[in-house]
């Protein structure tokens, strides 16, 4: 889960633009999980699992990349042409599905 990442953890980044590239980055920071939706109704959320998101800062080749609004309970997340994963196995499955 992205919420359990800690500083120095490895993260895999796939850029699916014109020339797909796979990079390895290292986590610099992960925000605390916060609700995905800004509305809060205590009566409606009682007993339900509210979805939460985190912001992740990653260092790749001396560049800092920020990923905002990543679902905290996922292990792989796709946003546009970018896929990030905390596990190599999940990224391999993503690449295999592209072929």
Domain enclosing residue 21, as ranges: 2-37+49-88
| Average pLDDT for 39-47 | 59
Report the Cα–Cα distance between both ends of the chain, in Å, rounded.
Answer: 26
- Please indicate, yes or no, if residue 23 is contained in any of the structural domains: yes
| Average pLDDT for 67-96 | 92
| Average pLDDT for 57-78 | 95
- Please indicate, yes or no, if residue 70 is contained in any of the structural domains: yes
- Please indicate, yes or no, if residue 96 is contained in any of the structural domains: no
Per-residue pLDDT, 48 = 59
Total number of domains in the chain: 1
The three-class DSSP label of residue 13 is: strand
């Amino acid at each position: 889960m992205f919420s359990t990442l800690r500083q120095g953890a490895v993260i895999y980044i796939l850029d699916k633009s014109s020339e797909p590239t796979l990079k390895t980055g290292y986590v610099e920071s992960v925000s605390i999980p916060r609700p995905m939706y800004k509305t809060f109704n205590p009566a409606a959320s009682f007993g339900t699992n509210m979805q939460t998101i985190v912001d992740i800062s990653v260092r790749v080749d001396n560049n800092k990349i920020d990923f905002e609004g990543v679902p905290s309970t996922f292990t792989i997340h796709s946003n546009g042409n970018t896929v990030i994963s905390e596990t190599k196995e999940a990224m391999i499955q993503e690449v295999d599905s592209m072929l």
